[in-house]
Amino acid sequence: MNDLVPASVTGRPAPGGSAAGAALRRAAPALAAYAAIRLLGLVVLAVWSAAGGKDWHTLLTARWDSLWYSRIAEQGYGHAVALPNGDIHSDLAFFPLLPWLERGLSAFSPLSPADAGMAVAWLSSLAAAWALYATGERLHGPRAGVALAALWAALPVGIVQSMAYSESLFTALAAWAGYAVLSGRWVWAGALAALAGLTRPVGAAVVAAVWITAAVTLWRERAGGVPLRAALRARPGMAAGALLAPLGWCGYFLWVAVRQGSPTGYLDVQGGWGNGFDGGLAFAGFLRDQLSGPGFAAGLGLLAGVGLVIWLYVHGVRRGQPLPLAVYGGVVLLLALTAKGYFGSKPRLMLPAYPLLLPPAAALARWRPVWSGLVIGLLAVGSAVYGAFWLNGSGPP
């Protein structure tokens, strides 16, 4: 097995480096492929929605979680809905960075908060695609970078990347934080991790990636006889990055705790939504019910999907995936699979787990371009059709 901590993490960042313009030019094919796949998804959604008498714009900006985000942007926190069964759906469940951006963008443009949320998602998804390209290029070469960005765009639930949701914003911050760790830019990694922690609860995965990679790097140096101070001096910004990383996530948890008057305030809010973590017991029960009832085929497909993502994670780790990506992807996967409530959301919750796509991206990069292009094209068509069907049906809760 290859070393899980790449040389770039254990040493100083390379001096100089490419300018942002040159990096953007290298990423242009990946961004073009990403944009084409997502545009296909939007066109199919628009046609499908029109045929069903629905508005594609409303589906992307004014349903489900997007309504909660835009309401926070317009009125701040404090809204809650009491359900007949006694549950309380509070807007405190939603982290603040996306509503802040919606409010700021709508204040300085003619966009409504909802449209501002969609604009943030579209721009963030391109930023995420760039980060994925940079990661794939660094680890496996330019073709793998293009394939990684394209595969992420062509996920079955890829349409969420174009919605006024926080997944695109979070993935962009998380992916660039991961790249910063890989390239030894620790302060950037910590700052981006802090912003990711203000975006979604799974920001804890980015914090874990920064902390564990830093700890393992220092531990290996100490095991090699290097004093701690010398190891830290050799990695400028590591201590500062590690201190910055949890500020966003912890800050929001503490703010909710104070507002709710309880140290478990945020967990209580999530409990009101029927969410929480039970080690996967509720999800296992859901799978069992599907497999033993009329939904057997759907249950079998769901079981196969869970098996696939676990296999992709294990396969990536066994092939030497760098430690920060292995930690981040593993925590995202763990949190998604062990959460209870809204089982239909699990594919969306795993959307930011881009390291799972590195092994197939590396494999596609070794194929002839015509064959890899054909595979990605078929996946893109499937994603577009499924996304249109999904949003015009039950959609993401």
Whole-number Å distance between alpha carbons of 146 and 129: 9
The reply to whether 297 falls in a domain is yes
What pLDDT was estimated at residue 14? Answer: 44
**E strands present in 63-220:** 80-82, 88-90
Q: What is the DSSP string of 180-205?
A: HHHTT-HHHHHHHHHHHHTT-TTHHH
The reply to whether 6 falls in a domain is no
What pLDDT was estimated at residue 18? Answer: 62
Whole-number Å distance between alpha carbons of 118 and 101: 11
CA dihedral 323, 324, 328, 330 (to 10 degrees): 0
The reply to whether 316 falls in a domain is yes
What pLDDT was estimated at residue 332? Answer: 97
What pLDDT was estimated at residue 86? Answer: 85
Predicted model pTM = 0.93
Q: What is the 8-class DSSP label of residue 395?
A: -
What pLDDT was estimated at residue 264? Answer: 94
Whole-number Å distance between alpha carbons of 252 and 201: 9
The reply to whether 24 falls in a domain is no
The reply to whether 12 falls in a domain is no
What pLDDT was estimated at residue 7? Answer: 45
One-letter amino acid for residue 28 of the chain: A
Token readout for 300 is: 């079998």
Range of the domain at 115: 29-391
Integer Rg of the chain from CA = 21
The reply to whether 19 falls in a domain is no
What pLDDT was estimated at residue 370? Answer: 95
The reply to whether 199 falls in a domain is yes
The reply to whether 18 falls in a domain is no
Q: Count up the domains in the chain and report the number.
A: 1
Pairing verdict, β 276-277 and 339-340: antiparallel
Whole-number Å distance between alpha carbons of 171 and 38: 16
What pLDDT was estimated at residue 99? Answer: 98
pLDDT tens, position by position, for the chain (397 residues)? 334 445 444 444 444 446 788 889 999 999 999 999 999 999 999 999 999 999 999 999 998 999 999 999 999 999 999 998 888 999 999 999 999 999 999 999 999 999 999 999 999 999 999 999 999 999 999 999 999 999 999 999 999 999 999 999 999 999 999 999 999 999 999 999 999 999 999 999 999 999 999 999 999 988 888 888 888 888 999 999 999 999 999 999 999 999 999 999 999 999 999 888 877 788 888 788 778 877 788 778 888 888 999 999 999 999 999 999 999 999 999 999 988 877 678 889 999 999 999 999 999 999 999 999 999 999 999 999 999 999 998 777 6
